[in-house]
């Protein structure tokens, strides 16, 4: 029988995953840094727990563990010690990050993971399962695509962990994939109109994880990620470029992080239930052929729970090649359609010289 560990079980999303896991009859080992926070949740759910820090001694705490689902962010700070502990201990590694730097680091360990027959898969939640699966669906529909745009529209609230990750990235600007390379650009520079599934909306490019993962999934050299942004807000975002040195300061970040701890709780079940996510993607080839893909899913937090548990169960019960993989490269675009609350992919085509 396989044993898996959920690290970060006291966070907003980690606790949701732990609760859903038990409802499904799964028995994860809960883990985190604080016994005072982890033990009550473990006792409430009737689960084993372990307490340990993330450092160069972490591997010894993974004895008997076949897979780790890492849910403790900000992942830019926490993922490296956990990934390397998993490689040392011989445990598969999953996380729910959306951070580009984490995806790049995970990918850099592909050969080492191959040699040890360990699977590393970052982004098994809303970041980035829906958009990653959409990217592969478009690649299948337009194999010679040279440009890929991905995005989503949702009314979901925001959890403390997600907001903290956003604070950590303040002042960093935007990142796009250009000619195969990650390229820094000013935030607010790229704007367009997009119908994510609820009519045309003004949108702005953001440094979403897909500019890293979708490249490894599809090989498409030019990638941008988008969210709906009113034009005044996009204009204000451009002004943030001037304030970048201030926003990047640790003093400002620490003040914001303390405010989040005091005030941000995350959406409740009723709020999540009423806020589906609308996923959009568009691929273009050198001849100007355009394929546009849309699909609706559960809200961003419920989808993270469903996605993380689905990937966990598949890896524990199946046989997959070791290495660093994206969710779609492991399981195909159908992974998204299999999750509760998801619809079916719909693809529209445009060919140059024809009427819209």
**Domains of the chain (ranges, CATH numbers):** 4-126+301-335 (3.40.50.720), 129-299+340-350 (3.30.360.10)
351 φ, ψ (degrees, to nearest 5):
-120, 130
First and final C-alpha spacing in the chain: 55
Q: Is the pLDDT of residue 116 over 90?
A: yes
* Residues ≥6 apart with Cβ < 8 Å to 132: 123, 210, 213, 214, 217, 326, 327, 328
118 φ, ψ (degrees, to nearest 5):
-110, 140
Q: Is the pLDDT of residue 245 over 70?
A: no
Region 225-254 average pLDDT: 59
pLDDT at 353: 79
Residue 170 — pLDDT band, cuts 50, 70, 90? very low
Strands 92-95 and 119-121: parallel
Q: Is the pLDDT of residue 165 over 60?
A: no
Q: What separation in angstroms does the CA of 302 have from each of 219, 271, 337?
A: 29, 11, 14
DSSP symbols for 177-232: EETTEEEEE-TT--EEEEESSSSEEEEEEE--THHHHHHHHH--SEEEEEEE--HH
Given a contact cutoff of 8 angstroms between Cβ atoms, the answer to whether 277 and 130 are in contact is: yes
Q: How far apart are CA 304 and CA 102, in angstroms?
A: 17
Region 114-134 average pLDDT: 96
Region 288-296 average pLDDT: 98
Residue 204 — pLDDT band, cuts 50, 70, 90? confident
Could you tell me the two tokens for 50? Answer: 């372990």
Could you tell me the two tokens for 267? Answer: 């959406």
Residue 236 — pLDDT band, cuts 50, 70, 90? low
Region 317-332 average pLDDT: 97
Q: How far apart are CA 244 and CA 223, in angstroms?
A: 24
Q: What percent of the chain has pLDDT over 90?
A: 71
pLDDT at 260: 44
pLDDT at 156: 62
Q: Is the pLDDT of residue 85 over 60?
A: yes
Residue 229 — pLDDT band, cuts 50, 70, 90? confident
**Predicted confidence (pLDDT) per residue in 17-39, tens digit:** 999 999 999 999 999 999 999 99
The pTM of this model reads: 0.89
* Residues ≥6 apart with Cβ < 8 Å to 10: 32, 34, 37, 38, 41
């Amino acid at each position: 029988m396989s044993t898996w560990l959920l690290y970060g079980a006291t966070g907003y999303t980690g606790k949701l995953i732990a609760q859903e896991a038990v409802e499904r009859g799964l028995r994860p080992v809960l883990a985190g840094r604080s016994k005072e926070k982890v033990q009550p949740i473990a006792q409430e759910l009737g689960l084993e727990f372990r307490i340990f820090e993330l450092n160069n001694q972490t591997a010894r705490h993974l004895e008997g563990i076949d897979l780790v689902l890492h849910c403790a962010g900000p992942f830019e700070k926490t993922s490296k010690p956990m990934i390397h502990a998993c490689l040392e201990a011989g445990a598969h590694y999953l996380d729910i990050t959306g951070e580009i730097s984490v995806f790049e680091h995970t990918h850099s360990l592909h050969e080492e993971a191959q040699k040890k027959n360990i699977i590393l898969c970052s982004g098994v939640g809303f970041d980035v399962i829906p958009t990653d699966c959409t990217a592969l669906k478009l690649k299948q529909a337009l194999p010679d695509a040279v440009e890929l745009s991905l995005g989503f529209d949702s009314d979901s609230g925001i959890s403390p962990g997600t907001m903290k990750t956003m604070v950590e990235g303040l002042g960093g600007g935007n990142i796009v994939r250009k000619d195969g390379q990650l390229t820094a650009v000013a935030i607010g520079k790229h704007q367009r109109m997009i119908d994510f599934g609820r009519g045309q909306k003004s949108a702005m490019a953001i440094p979403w994880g897909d500019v890293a993962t979708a490249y490894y999934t599809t090989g498409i050299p030019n990638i941008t990620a988008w969210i709906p942004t009113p034009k005044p807000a996009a204009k204000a975002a451009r002004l943030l470029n001037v304030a970048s040195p201030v926003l990047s300061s640790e003093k400002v970040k620490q003040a914001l992080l303390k405010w989040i701890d005091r005030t941000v709780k995350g959406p409740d079940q009723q709020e999540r239930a009423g806020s589906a996510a609308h996923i959009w993607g568009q691929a273009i080839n050198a001849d100007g052929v355009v394929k546009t893909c849309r699909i609706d899913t559960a809200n961003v937090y419920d989808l993270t729970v469903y996605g993380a548990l689905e990937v966990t169960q598949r890896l524990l019960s199946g046989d997959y090649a070791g290495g660093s993989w994206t969710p779609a490269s492991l399981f195909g675009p159908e992974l998204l359609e299999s999750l509760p609350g998801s619809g079916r992919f719909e693809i529209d085509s445009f060919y140059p010289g024809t009427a819209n």
